[in-house]
Chains A and B, each alone.
Chain A
C-alpha cells in the first residue's frame, strides 16, 4: 500500500508527505503508538524469558533427583545425605555457611548455619552438647530415649535446650531462617528440620540520636537492628494493645518491616491501609526507610515530606498513643510515622520539656520561620524591583544606596546568593567532619564579607538570605526544611517576573497544594484551618500544660479521644 502510494504520487513532495501522514489510517499496525507498545511487550518477553532461563537452570541443578512442588526448591527426604546434598546445592558458593555433621545417638545429625550470624557458643551449649552428650556411655538411658524419638517435635521438647525452636518442613522457610541467622538442625531419618534461634551478628549499640537531639529528654535512639528498635518501644509501654506486625519487603533482601500501632486507639482502617501499601511494594532490595516512604506516600512528586521520620523511640511512642502508625524498617535507624501533617512536623521533643508558655512562643516563632523560609527572599525581590513605594522612605533610601553599588538586578543577586548558600551547605554535609569547620569559615567569609566588599551582593540581601537559611534550619524536621529550601526558588522566580502579584499567586499555589495534599487521608495543612479541629491548636499553634491536654488530636481520628480519664486503656485490653 505504502509503496503504491509513494510510487503513484511520487511526483509531488507535498502529496508524498500527506500520504505518509495518512499511512497509519490505511495500515493501523504502522502507527507509532502501537509499534512502541509492541516493542515494549517484546522487551518484557525477553526479560521474562531470561529470568525463566535462570530459574530453570537453578531448578535443574537442584532438583535433578527430587520432585518438588512448584514454589519449593526441594522437599526434605528422610535420608540425611540427600538433604545435605540438596542444601549444598542451594548454598553453593556461599562460603560463609557452615555444615556441621555429628552423631546424635546412633544417628547422624547435621547443623547448618551462617558463620557470622549465629551464636556458636549458644549452639554448642544448647544443641551440640545435649545431642552429642547422648553418645557417652553414662547416659545410656537418654541415648535410648533419643534413639526412640522419631520426630523432631519430641526431640525439641525433650532434648534441645534452646529458647526458641521451630519445626519446619518447608525448605523455603528453612532457607530463609538460615539466612536470617538461625541454625538448622537435621537428623537422619527425619524428613523435617528444626530452626533454632541463635541469632547473633554485629550491630551498633544504642546511642544518642545524631540528628534529633533534645536538650532534656531520653537520649536513646533507634539503631539498625529491628528487634532492638521494637524493644526500645516495648520497654516504654507495658501495654498489650501495642501491636507489632512484621512483614517482609524486598524480593531478594526480604527485609523485615514492622508495623506498630495501638489496637484500641488507631483510626479504623489505617493499619490495614498501611499494610496494604507496604504489601504492594515491588522492589528487589530495601536498604533504608526512605524507600518505603516513597512507595507508600500519596504524592511522590510533592517536595513536602508526607511521612514523619524519627530516630527517637519516645517520639514514636507518643505518636502511637495519638493513634498514629509506626513503621520500623530493619537496617535503618530512621523510622517512619504516618499519617504526617504540618502540625506534627512543627512539634519538637523539647517543646514538651519546656515551660508551656515558653514552648508556645517558640511554636509561634517556628511557624513564622516556616513562612519566612519560603517567602522572604521573594518578598524582598518583589518589593525592591517592583514596589519600592511600599517601603518607608528612609528605608527605601538606605536600600537604594546599598543597591547602587551592586551591578546586578536583585533577582540575579538573590539567585547567586542562594546558589552560594546551597553550595556551602552541600559542601559541609559531604566533607569529612574535620574539614567542615574550614568549609564553613570560608563560606562565612565569602558570603559575609568579601562578596559584599567586592560589590557583587548588597549587605541587605545577605541579611535576607541568612535569615531565610536560619529560618529553615529551625524546622524540627530536616525533610520539611529541605522542602522549604526547594520551594523558595520557584517563589523567587515568580516574584522576579510578576512582583507581589506573583508572590501572592505563589502563596495561593503553595497553600492550596498543602491543603489538598493528603497523608493517609489526613489533610497536610487543612487540619490547621479546619474549624472542627480547632481544639487541636492546643498542641499545634500553642502548647498547653500537660494537664490540660486531655484529648488526643482529633486530626488523626483516634478511636478514644480522651487522653486523661477513665476510658483510657480500658477498652479492648
Chain B
C-alpha cells in the first residue's frame, strides 16, 4: 500500500513536470538576436536609398497607432541573419528593422510585426544614440527601458554619434563580423588607445552614474561613408548632453585621472625640431589630491610615468640613446608634453564645458576633505570652474630599444 502511494506520488510529480515544465523553452534558433540598437529622431534614420515618396510610405508601414505622445523617436534594431547555406558559404550578416514611436518598449513589441521570431536582447552588444535625440531630452529618459528590462546586460556598450545612429547599424564590417559585435569590440582596447574614453562607459556604469547623479562621459562614434571611427567623447552634465570633446582632451583627462593603462605620448625631439619621438607608457603612478587652504580650494596632480622610448625619428642623427644626459632631455620633453595635455584637458572640461567629468574632483574632495565638501557641495557646480589645478609630471624612460 505504501509502495502504491509512493508510486502515485512519483507519477504526480512527473505529470507536474509534463504540464508545467518547458514553459519558457525557446530554442536558440527560434530567437532573433538583437545585436545593436540605434536611437534617432523620428525624421532621421530612414532606410537608405529610398526616394522621399517611398520613405513616407515605409514610415507609415513601420509605425503603429499611438494615442498619446508625438512619435518623437525612431528605434532601429540590428538583427542577425543566420548563415544557413552550409559552413563557409554565407558569412554572418545582419539587417535592420526600425519603428517610430515614443515608448521604446512599445516600439519593440510592435516590431514583432516585422519579425518572424521573438526579439531577443540577451546578446545585445551596443546602443547607439544620436546626439539629436540627446539634445531634446536627457540620457536617463533614453536608457530607462534598457536598464529596466530583464534581458539587458550591464556590459552593453553605449555610444553617442553626431550623425544618424541607424547608418552605423547598416554598416557591414569588411571583416564579416556581425555588425553589433564589431561595433562593441571597437572599444575593447580602450586602455591602449588614450583617445577613447572607454573605461566605465558601458550600460551598467552609465546607469550607476545616472543614479548617483554624477556627470557622464560616453564614447563618441562617427561614420563617414564606409569609415567608422571611435574617438573623443560626449560629455554629459548629470544626464544632459553638453557637447563633444576631442581625443586629445580625453587623453589629458585619462592622464589626469590615472585611468590609462598604456599610452603613446608623441612630441617633437628637443634637439631636432620637426622630428617626432614617442614614449610608450607602461606604468604610471598618478595622484590627484585636493587641498583646502582657508577658503581656497585647489587640486594638485602628481604624475609619475615609467615606460620605454618607442619611436625616435631623429635616431640617425648620431644621438646616443645610451647617454643618460640625452635621455634626461627626452624625459623632460615628454613630461612637458604630458603636462600640456593635462592642462588642455583641464581647460576644456573646467573652463569651456564647466563639467567635472565623471564627478572625479567632487569625489576626491568628498573623500579627502569631507568637512569642506559638506559646506560647499550645493555650490560645487559654481565653484568647480574656479578651482585651480597644479600639474607636475615626471617621466622615466626605462628601456630605449637601441641596437647597434
B27 touches A384 (CB 8 A): yes
**Chain A residues near B120 (CB, 8 Å)?**
388
Q: A385-B26, A385-B27 are in contact. Are A397 and B122 (CB under 8 A)?
A: no
B82 touches A496 (CB 8 A): no
Q: A386-B24, A400-B82 are in contact. Are A393 and B123 (CB under 8 A)?
A: yes
Among listed B28-36, B237-245, B320-328, B374-382, interface-contacting one: B28-36
Provide the bound-state CA to CA distance between A497 and B21, in Å.
5
B178 touches A498 (CB 8 A): no
Provide the bound-state CA to CA distance between A393 and B155, in Å.
12
**Chain B residues near A389 (CB, 8 Å)?**
122-123, 151, 153
Provide the bound-state CA to CA distance between A235 and B125, in Å.
70
Tally of contacts, chain A with chain B, CB under 8 A: 69
Q: A385-B28, A389-B122 are in contact. Are A397 and B80 (CB under 8 A)?
A: yes
B84 touches A401 (CB 8 A): yes
A401 touches B122 (CB 8 A): no
Other-chain residue from A385, A394, A400, A401 in contact with B25 (beta carbon distance below 8 A): A385
Interface check B2, CB cutoff 8 A? no
Q: Mark A135-165, 1 if CB is under 8 A from B, else 0.
A: 0000000000000000000000000000000
B22 touches A403 (CB 8 A): no
Q: A397-B33, A497-B17 are in contact. Are A403 and B123 (CB under 8 A)?
A: no
Other-chain residue from A388, A394, A410 in contact with B31 (beta carbon distance below 8 A): A388
Q: Mark A390-408, 1 if CB is under 8 A from B, else 0.
A: 0001101101110111000
B181 touches A393 (CB 8 A): yes
**Chain A residues near B22 (CB, 8 Å)?**
496-497
Interface check A268, CB cutoff 8 A? no
Provide the bound-state CA to CA distance between A393 and B82, in Å.
13
SS class, residues of chain A in contact with chain B: helix
**Chain A residues near B122 (CB, 8 Å)?**
388-389
Q: A388-B122, A389-B151 are in contact. Are A499 and B25 (CB under 8 A)?
A: yes
Provide the bound-state CA to CA distance between A409 and B18, in Å.
16
* Nearest chain A CB to B365 CB, angstrom units: 40
Q: A397-B33, A401-B82 are in contact. Are A410 and B27 (CB under 8 A)?
A: yes
From residue 103 to 146 of chain B, which have CB atoms closer than 8 A to chain A? 120, 122-123, 125
**Chain A residues near B178 (CB, 8 Å)?**
393-394, 397
**Chain A residues near B286 (CB, 8 Å)?**
none
From residue 265 to 285 of chain A, which have CB atoms closer than 8 A to chain B? none
**Chain A residues near B151 (CB, 8 Å)?**
389
Interface check B83, CB cutoff 8 A? yes
Interface check B354, CB cutoff 8 A? no
* Nearest chain B CB to A508 CB, angstrom units: 15
B181 touches A400 (CB 8 A): no
**Chain A residues near B125 (CB, 8 Å)?**
393
**A410, closest chain B residue (CB):** B27
Provide the bound-state CA to CA distance between A401 and B31, in Å.
11
**A388, closest chain B residue (CB):** B28
B181 touches A401 (CB 8 A): no
**Chain B residues near A396 (CB, 8 Å)?**
28, 33, 123
A400 touches B17 (CB 8 A): no
B27 touches A401 (CB 8 A): no
Provide the bound-state CA to CA distance between A405 and B83, in Å.
9
Other-chain residue from A403, A405, A494 in contact with B27 (beta carbon distance below 8 A): A403
Q: Mark B45-87, 1 if CB is under 8 A from A, else 0.
A: 0000000000000000000000000000000000010111000
Give B contacts to A, CB under 8 Å. 17-18, 21-22, 24-29, 31, 33, 35, 80, 82-84, 92, 120, 122-123, 125, 151, 153, 178, 181
Give 11 A-B contacts (CB < 8 Å), ordered by A residue. A385-B27, A385-B28, A388-B120, A396-B28, A397-B80, A400-B33, A401-B82, A403-B29, A409-B25, A497-B21, A497-B22
